Structure 1
Amino acid sequence: MDKRRHIIAPALLSLLLIASLVWGYNQNQSRINYETALENTYQRLFFDIKKHVENVQVNLSKALVASSKEQNVVLFSQIMNEAFFAKEKLSQMPITHAETAKTEKFLTQTADYASYLIKKHMQGEDITQDQRETLNSLQSNSQAFNQELSKLHDSLMDSNFALGAMSNQQKKNVEEGNNQVFQTSLVTMDKQMGKIPELIYDGPFSDQIVNKKAVGLPKNDVSLNDAQKAAQDFFGRDRVKGIEAFEEGEHINEARLPAYTFHLYPNSQSKDLAVYMGVSRKGGKVVWMENPRPVSNAKLSIKNAEEKALKYLKEKGFENMEANYSLKYNGSILFNFANTQDDITIYPDLIKVKVALDTGEIVGFNASAYYMNNQERNITSPHLTEEEARAKIKTDFNIDSARLAIIPSGANEVLCYEFKGKYNKSDFIVYINALDGREEQILQIIKDENGTLTF
């Protein structure tokens, strides 16, 4: 028996050693295959970005030569799609948003400006000299973008750089030199994009919109101490056992809505679950609040949750708000509330309120859009009657309701008739300009057990 034991034990150890070697080899091969696949994906993304930007540049050049509206609509459609594709693929690269912020802005604005010019052509307008100069500027900068991408490509090839290595934090020693090549090129490219002149046009990504400052806040500056008091008052002093400010970042004053930011520690929650809150530096208004506490045993109905959200808004001084759309997720429901004036819904004045469906507690609040846009409005009377506006809609669109609403349109606000109805068993909203009868916007309504959204 002893002799057999002495024979079996080494044999078993040998088998285990062989099995572990085979397992280790397979794991290593799997890792190599994964890294190869990942690298191939990043390489393909990089070349796709380069190709999309080349197409943007070529089509911008063609648009400067084209003279017909029909040809320009085709070219601008291609520019819009190529720019969006380039931005979407850039976002999938293993780099941070901060390193490509200006480049992303350039691509977004290029796509949006192309969309803006399509609308102008569809309205029968020709390209103006100013618009042509803007196109020329975009073309020049897309050419510069292409040149930087080519230089980056050459640098990466010369250094045998692996894009996939950037996503693997375990390879710091190998990455350091490679990242230097990649990051330096990215910074150079992004700085180049930052030199682009401002785009001023009627679009949601134009510089006058992106750089817009809040018009709905008081003008007085508030101190950190006053903002802290405002945060405690908003949440309820009797509910707070502690509060502390946290770092906003060195460029906070360049933000569209600069705010002091705080951690609040409620009596009912552990210190690990702080409530986050932002208080505007102008006027000391609470701009946003988020309570990340878990929600269990959701039992509140949507109707009851809406009533609690509306009561909460009234308590905070927001009158004449109406709920429009909602989305239920993770035991909570998020409502969009729009301001109203003289029975007209004002969509730019938007506030979001999130209600926990276990107790009905308000666990989220965001009034950024409200404070960005809310102001005294002298609303022009409609030039069209409701019946005249209805005549602008497809005859087989079955209208369920109609009302007046103000919607955002680029840098402007537009008074419209809002028609809700059905077409082919699907729900839509059609907005007809109440002044000139133009079809401003069409949204599809999606309803399911989680709420109502528009697209």
Structure 2
Amino acid sequence: MFRWSLITLLSIAVIGVSVWGYQEHQEKNAILIQAENNYQRSFHDLTYNLDLLHDKIGSTLAMNTREQLSPQLAEIWRLTSMAHNDVGQLPLTLLPFNKTEEFLQQMGDFSYRTAIRDLDKEPLSDDELEALESLYEVSGGIEQELRKVQNMVLNDNLRWMDVQLALVNNDEQADNTIIDGFETVEKTIEGYSEGKLNASMMGTSSKKDGFTILGDEKISEEEAKKKMRSLLRIDEETKITVASTGEGANVPLYSGSYKEDDTTGYIDVTQNGGYPITLMINREVEERNKSLHEAMQNAKDYLSKLDFTTDLALVESNQYDNVGVFQFVPKHENVWIYPDAIQIKVALDNGEVLGFVAKDYLENYHEREIPEVELSEEEARDKVNPNLKIQEHHLAVIEDDMGEEVLTYVYLGTLNQDTYKIFINASDGSEVRVDKLKQAEMKY
């Protein structure tokens, strides 16, 4: 009797395990099928979007009126964004495909910058027409290669899951048609003259070469270490490790770090000029004892002791838990210079500066000639949404969507429960930008 009971129990167990295994197998297959379907959809969408992209660029070359050109360029920008998104959904993480992604990014940037421009006042230049011809040629090559891959995928029922498996296993011996096809696409981009493509696509900018404020005079490692101790506020007994960047760095730096009890600190100082570019102190911040206003004053006092301009304006302040984060910009002839921003972080327990970033300031700062305003403040105010309750205003230099510096009237105002900054071009009254300011985050 016991024997038959045991056999029955074992039989039930075997049947149960078999059913469970079958269900697991079915669920695994369902997941694999869903993943394969998503990969196939993204691939065919990519091929379709690049087909359209090639046609749209060709149509643009034949156009001559702004009414047609601007929407067409905007459509090219939309298609490049979609193609970029399609690439991101394919299992190509382990496959070198950066040149193609960079090409799509550059194409999108070029078409966007050109689409938002007033083409009546500033029509396409010869360089930009050459860029469009280059885009047309390269996109045509990509289109042909992807069509070949698509044809083989459809005819031979190739699976993207095999691509993922081959890439994960780093199987160089595997004959994978899809991988070979995408490598050919990448080589098509690499084989094209990058100088011709990039120079014409990147456009021009009013920016200087950058970091001109640093000068040519270099400081020694010992001088850098002394400056680091002062900025980190540590004494001679605290060990600080300093290393310099290697050859070929865009901005040669001395990087310092230290650890003392539960506090660690990091700082970068430029070798030319000895300017601090980043600073970060990690420690536990205790209960808040300082107001945001007091912390802002501490931040301003700290920056005034550095080798930066002392005439700074606060453009943004935020509180995150027990830390205040502030953004300052220099003022020139009472005009706020937004591209030269400095960010600084202050602990609200004792007012200590925990970090700052001065890269934008050091990269962009240069002597500027502020142009004369062509609109009065009242005329610019009329361009602002009448529903906005304006609280304050000032003149500022900002960068527009094309990276060009523009003199604007900045209006700070509220609409419903939100606060906005409206930037009005001081020359023609156009609305350059609208920024919604962050509010204090709720704790859940």
Range of TM-score over shorter length:
0.7 to 0.9
Q: Is the contact between residue 218 and residue 283 of structure 1 (CA under 8 Å) also seen in structure 2?
A: yes
Matched, 1:243 2:241: yes
TM-superposition CA deviations, 1:200-245 (whole Å, max 9, x none): 68x9x64768995433323235566765665454323439544264
TM-superposition CA deviations, 1:71-130 (whole Å, max 9, x none): 112211101111222223334444459934443333233223223323333664433434
Shift of 1:417: 1.4
Aligned CA distance change for structure 1 residues 356 and 100 (closer, same or farther; 3 Å): farther
Find the counterpart in structure 1 of residue 276 from structure 2: 286
TM-superposition CA deviations, 1:375-396 (whole Å, max 9, x none): 2223234233222333444555
For structure 1, which segment, 393-402 or 361-370, has the greater mean C-alpha deviation from structure 2 after superposition? 393-402
Q: Which whole-Å CA distance do the structure 2 matches of 1:161 and 1:226 have between them?
A: 63
The one-letter amino acid of 2:412's match is K
Matched, 1:413 2:410: no
Q: Which whole-Å CA distance do the structure 1 matches of 2:271 and 2:166 have between them?
A: 38
Shift of 1:168: 6.6
Q: Which whole-Å CA distance do the structure 1 matches of 2:193 and 2:211 have between them?
A: 24
The one-letter amino acid of 1:413's match is E
Find the counterpart in structure 1 of residue 430 from structure 2: 439
Aligned CA distance change for structure 1 residues 373 and 173 (closer, same or farther; 3 Å): closer
Shift of 1:163: 4.1
Q: TM-score, normalised by structure 2?
A: 0.79
Q: Which whole-Å CA distance do the structure 1 matches of 2:259 and 2:341 have between them?
A: 27
Find the counterpart in structure 2 of residue 49 from structure 1: 46
The one-letter amino acid of 2:116's match is K
Find the counterpart in structure 2 of residue 269 from structure 1: 262
Shift of 1:403: 1.0
Matched, 1:253 2:248: yes
Aligned CA distance change for structure 1 residues 258 and 81 (closer, same or farther; 3 Å): farther
Q: Which whole-Å CA distance do the structure 2 matches of 1:306 and 1:100 have between them?
A: 45
Find the counterpart in structure 2 of residue 103 from structure 1: 100
Q: Is the contact between residue 109 and residue 206 of structure 1 (CA under 8 Å) also seen in structure 2?
A: no
Find the counterpart in structure 2 of residue 65 from structure 1: 62
Shift of 1:350: 1.1
In structure 1, runs of 5+ residues without a counterpart are none
Aligned CA distance change for structure 1 residues 397 and 356 (closer, same or farther; 3 Å): closer
Correspondence for 1:448 among 435, 439, 442: 439
Find the counterpart in structure 1 of residue 340 from structure 2: 349
The one-letter amino acid of 1:414's match is V
Find the counterpart in structure 1 of residue 146 from structure 2: 149
Aligned CA distance change for structure 1 residues 329 and 424 (closer, same or farther; 3 Å): closer
The one-letter amino acid of 1:320's match is D
For structure 1, which segment, 84-93 or 413-422, has the greater mean C-alpha deviation from structure 2 after superposition? 84-93
Shift of 1:134: 2.5
Map 1:56-135 → 2, pairs under 5 A:
56-96=53-93, 99-121=96-118, 124-135=121-132
SS at match of 2:341: strand
The one-letter amino acid of 1:336's match is Q
Shift of 1:331: 6.0
TM-superposition CA deviations, 1:260-311 (whole Å, max 9, x none): 555x2320327xxx54544434434332234565667667654344344334
SS at match of 2:124: coil
Aligned residues: 437
Q: Which whole-Å CA distance do the structure 2 matches of 1:207 and 1:97 have between them?
A: 34
The one-letter amino acid of 1:54's match is D
Aligned CA distance change for structure 1 residues 233 and 96 (closer, same or farther; 3 Å): farther
Q: Which whole-Å CA distance do the structure 1 matches of 2:364 and 2:54 have between them?
A: 36
Q: Which whole-Å CA distance do the structure 2 matches of 1:407 and 1:142 have between them?
A: 34
Aligned CA distance change for structure 1 residues 36 and 283 (closer, same or farther; 3 Å): farther
Q: Which whole-Å CA distance do the structure 1 matches of 2:37 and 2:324 have between them?
A: 41
Tell me how large the CA RMSD over aligned residues is.
4.1
Shift of 1:340: 1.9
Q: State percent identity of aligned pairs.
A: 26
Shift of 1:9: 5.4
Find the counterpart in structure 2 of residue 197 from structure 1: 196
Aligned CA distance change for structure 1 residues 419 and 65 (closer, same or farther; 3 Å): same
Aligned CA distance change for structure 1 residues 80 and 328 (closer, same or farther; 3 Å): farther
In structure 2, runs of 5+ residues without a counterpart are none
Q: Is the contact between residue 419 and residue 437 of structure 2 (CA under 8 Å) also seen in structure 1?
A: yes
Aligned CA distance change for structure 1 residues 58 and 315 (closer, same or farther; 3 Å): same
Q: Which whole-Å CA distance do the structure 1 matches of 2:377 and 2:66 have between them?
A: 32
Aligned CA distance change for structure 1 residues 30 and 98 (closer, same or farther; 3 Å): closer
Matched, 1:309 2:302: no
